[in-house]
Amino acid sequence: MNLQNWQTQLRKGLLDVVILNLLQHGRCHGYEMVQTLKQIDGLKIREGNIYPILARLQTDGLVTSYSEPSPDGPPRKYFKLTELGQKTLADMNAHWNHIIQSMQSLKKGKRV
C-alpha cells in the first residue's frame, strides 16, 4: 500500500469539512484560507484546490460569497457559511467526532 496515496485521498476527502470549519469563525477569502491551512500540520493543500471546493459548496447552498473593495488589490471575494452550511457543519463535526471515538476504541481493542 502506498501510504502517501492514502494520505492524499484522506486529505481530499476531508477538504469540505476543513473549509467549512475555517468559515465557522467568520468570513474569509480564498487566499486567506490557503495561508491558514499552510500553517496547520497535515492540512496543507495545493493552493488552487480551495476554489473548486468553495464553488461546489456554494452550489450546494452551504457557502455564499460577496465582493468587497480591497485596499491592496482588486475587489476581494469573501466567503461565509449559510444557515444550511452551519447546520451541515454541525452534523459533519458530530459524525467526525464519532469516527474518531470509534477509531480510538478499535485501536484499544474494544468492539465498536
Partner 1 sequence: MTSQGKTWHRLKTEYLRRVEKALSSVKHPRSRDVLDDVSSHLDRRFAELEPAQQTRENLQAIIADMGPASDYAELLDPDSTTPTQKLQRRFPLWLGLAAIVIAAAILLSRAIPSKVKQHKHLTISKAYWFHSDERPRSIPAEAVPKDDDGHMLFHVDEWYEEMGTAKQYRPFLNQADERFVLKADGHPDVHVNAERGCWSKEFYIRIPRKEYVKMEAGVMYTIHPVNSNPKYRWKVRPGVIICKPNQ
The residue among 48 and 109 lying less far from partner 1, judged by its C-beta, is: 48
Least separation in angstroms between CB 67 and partner 1: 7
In sequence order, which residues have a C-beta less than 8 Å from that of residue 38 and are 6 or more positions away? 44
Q: Considering Cα of 13, then 18, then 19, then 21, what sign does the dihedral take?
A: positive
Distance of closest approach, residue 18 Cβ to partner 1, in angstroms? 13
All three cell numbers of 18: 476543513
Q: Which is nearer to partner 1, 35 or 104 (CB)?
A: 35
CA contacts within 13 A on the Cβ side of 44: 4
Q: How far is the CB of 56 from partner 1 (least distance, A)?
A: 6
Please provide the size of the chain in residues: 112
Judged by beta carbon, residue 49 or residue 86, the one nearer partner 1 is 49
Q: Interface residues with partner 1 (CB under 8 A)?
A: 12, 15, 30-31, 34, 45-49, 51-56, 58-59, 67, 69-77
